[in-house]
Amino acid sequence: MRLFGRMYEPHAAREDTVLFPAFRALVGEKELVKLKDVFEQKEKALPHGGFEQMVTLVAKLEQSLGIGDLARSTPRLA
């Protein structure tokens, strides 16, 4: 997990500070809105539905396994 974090943090930082702003400037706001709608439709067409449906499913699974309360498993900082 540490190696993944080491790789992912700079990757995400570059996406947020370089890639996404450049993409937004290249495509423009109108096209971004269109793309958002297209991706939303594609997501909802997936067998398990959209993101919101998956969040609900995961929450139910976590509750059934007794791990739904993050406060119980999150370490407290001193």
| Structural tokens at position 45 | 């067409």
Looking at residue 33, what is its pLDDT?
A: 95
Q: Which residues of 12-28 are buried (b: 16+ CB within 10 A; e: fewer)?
A: eeeeeeeeeeeeeeeee
Residues in the chain where the model's pLDDT stays below 70: 78
Instruction: Using alpha carbons, select from 31, 51, 28, 29 the residue that is nearest to residue 40.
Output: 51
Q: Name the strand (E) or helix (H) holding 55.
A: helix 51-64
Looking at residue 75, what is its pLDDT?
A: 79
